[in-house]
Amino acid sequence: MIEIALISPAVLAIICLLLGRHTRAIEAISVAGAGSLLVSGSYLAFRTFDEGAIDEGIWFMDQFSGLMMFIIVLIGFLAVVYSVPYMRQEMATGEVGKRKVSYYYGFLFLFMLTMVMVVVSDNLGMVWIAVEATTLVSAFLVGFHNKATSLEATWKYLIICSIGISLALLGTIFVYASSLPVLGEGSDLHWTSLMAVAGQLDPAFLKIGFVLVLIGYGTKAGLAPMHTWLPDAHSQSPSPVSALLSGVLLNCAMYAVLRYHILLTHSPLGGGFSSGMLLLFGMLSLGVAAAFIITQKDYKRLLAYSSIEHIGIIAIGFGFGGFWGVFGGLLHMLNHSLTKALLFFGAGNVLQKYGTKNISEVRGVGRTMPFTAALLLLGALAITGSPPFSIFISEIMVLAAGIGQGSFLPVIIYSGILVVVFAAFMGHVVRMIFGEPPPGIEKGEISRSGLLPMVALAAAIMIMGLYIPGLLGDALKELIGLFGGME
């Protein structure tokens, strides 16, 4: 059953690459295919939420994988829908040719395939292979425009993430080593079999293994100070790809870290060590992101730094732990990807209209593109944690977790930084939306169909801000036990 979610993007990628110059056919197949992927992925997620884990040997999905799967297929589908008008506009301005469009859709599906593989592989080695594959595949998407700046971003992305990921491989080896005395030669590096003997794993190997895994996958997740590739790659990619990178890929890397965190929580080492590390890196990311958000001049980089901030918040959530920390962290993964995708789509519209990424050169979006401006403003309010949007809820949960743990210093820093980021981020966005548009910018939206996925996302974050669907809430509550949050 799980194979369907792996085979269909592979098939779609091949079709897109083969169709070549038949752009219309590629668009139709991509949208329909991403739609069917959304249906099958959501069904798998629903099954894990409803009935619990699905174990099919090398493929394994519990509620955590289910949540990730849902994020991948949902944002993936919306990114494909948004890509159609976005790529048409790029073709109209002569930025890209027909042949390149087929590569674009093909690699988009391959990218989704590798991300799905990350969350459904039971074997931690396979998880590593899949994470490395996401880098290799998405490098082509990051370097899509083939300009000097995008090549630079791609090179940094490839080199920094590959080096990070080789540390994660070293970490994986040490975690494997920790299981050998218990499982012997029969140890298969499956997460489920490691969990079954978690109480007997060797703590010394686990400890060094976790540190390496956290640094390795943390590089990919954009945790500071290993985040340096992220603002470049996320700002140079085409906007729909930025949405996938920020909203989905970072979560997938975080997912990999958290699988090890769960393992450590159940090991003789206890969860204290790994949650302490998560808290430390989360705080660092929050601080670094805030500094760059305040001084930012490029709005796509602004969004990229905001992603570092939110990955930091997620790490802090799991670092605090407990019921609210884990619940808030998991919910924040979903909320952040929905909101960030909305913002990157909006930024894509602004970029195509104004032809610049400089905040100072963009004025009066409210006049030129009123719908985009409204959705952007809404997204900006949501991402900075204003009520009644969903991110507000998860940020409050993380805060409550910190207070519950009695870790007041982190709580004070956390809330202080959130306030600063709110002011800085809104300042940038407000300046872009209001004022007189520069001369020569025509009125009118880039496309109507590009607004649809944005409206859908805006509706989702508003609804999620008011109430959490029962099924999702129950599934997340079941996961809390896994993270040791019930004690």
Partner 1 sequence: MVNDLSLDTINALAALILLADFMLVASSRMRSLTRIFALQSLAMGGLAAVVAFETGVGHIYVVAVLSIALKAVVIPRFIDYTADKIQVNREVEPLVKIPGSLLICAAITMLAYFVTEPIMELGTAITSNCLAISFATVLIGMFMMVSRRKAITEVVGLLVVENGVFLAAVSTTYSMPMVVELGVFFDIFVGVIIMGVFAFRINRTFETVDSTVLRRLKD
User: Which residues of this chain interact with partner 1, rule CB under 8 A?
Assistant: 58, 123, 125-126, 128-129, 132-133, 135-136, 139-140, 143, 146-149, 151-156, 158-159, 162-163, 166-167, 169-170, 172-174, 176-177, 180, 185, 187-189, 202, 204-205, 208, 231-232, 235-236, 292, 295-297, 301
Parallel, antiparallel or unpaired: strands 54-56 and 59-61: antiparallel
Residue 134 CB, shortest distance to partner 1, in Å, is 11
CB nearer partner 1, residue 143 or residue 240? 143
Residue 110 CB, shortest distance to partner 1, in Å, is 12
CB nearer partner 1, residue 55 or residue 474? 55
Q: Report yes or no: 9 and 72 within 8 Å, Cβ to Cβ.
A: no
CB nearer partner 1, residue 75 or residue 304? 304
CB nearer partner 1, residue 126 or residue 331? 126
CB nearer partner 1, residue 126 or residue 429? 126
Residue 168 CB, shortest distance to partner 1, in Å, is 10
Residue 360 CB, shortest distance to partner 1, in Å, is 14
Residue 107 CB, shortest distance to partner 1, in Å, is 12
CA distances from 247 to 39, 209, 250, 404, 472 (A): 19, 27, 7, 29, 19
Residue 126 CB, shortest distance to partner 1, in Å, is 7
Rounded to whole angstroms, the Cα distance separating 273 from 376 reads: 40
Rounded to whole angstroms, the Cα distance separating 116 from 65 reads: 9
CB nearer partner 1, residue 174 or residue 323? 174
φ, ψ dihedrals at 443, nearest 5°: -80, 155
Residue 294 CB, shortest distance to partner 1, in Å, is 11
Residue 166 CB, shortest distance to partner 1, in Å, is 5
CB nearer partner 1, residue 23 or residue 123? 123
CB nearer partner 1, residue 245 or residue 476? 245
Q: Which structure tokens are listed for 108?
A: 């988009």
SS (H, E, C) the chain: CHHHHHHHHHHHHHHHHHHCCCHHHHHHHHHHHHHHHHHHHHHHHHHHHHHCCEEECCEEECHHHHHHHHHHHHHHHHHHHHHHHHHHHHHHCCCCCHHHHHHHHHHHHHHHHHHHHHHHECEHHHHHHHHHHHHHHHHHHHCCCCCHHHHHHHHHHHHHHHHHHHHHHHHHHHHHHHHHHHHHHHCCCEHHHHHHCHHHCCHHHHHHHHHHHHHHHHHHHCCCCCCCHHHHHHHHCCHHHHHHHHHHHHHHHHHHHHHHHHHHHHCCCCCHHHHHHHHHHHHHHHHHHHHHHHCCCEHHHHHHHHHHHHHHHHHHHHHHCHHHHHHHHHHHHHHHHHHHHHHHHHHHHHHHHHCCCEHHHCCCHHHHCHHHHHHHHHHHHHHCCCCCCHHHHHHHHHHHHHHHHCCHHHHHHHHHHHHHHHHHHHHHHHHHHCCCCCCCCCCCCCCCCCHHHHHHHHHHHHHHHHCCCHHHHHHHHHHHHHCCCCC
CB nearer partner 1, residue 63 or residue 123? 123
Phi-psi label, residue 408: left if phi above 0, alpha if psi -120 to 50, beta otherwise: alpha
Residue 206 CB, shortest distance to partner 1, in Å, is 11
Q: Within a 10 A sphere around the Cβ of 407, how many other Cβ atoms?
A: 16
CB nearer partner 1, residue 242 or residue 394? 242
CB nearer partner 1, residue 156 or residue 353? 156
Residue 451 CB, shortest distance to partner 1, in Å, is 30
Residue 165 CB, shortest distance to partner 1, in Å, is 9
CB nearer partner 1, residue 167 or residue 253? 167
Residue 464 CB, shortest distance to partner 1, in Å, is 32
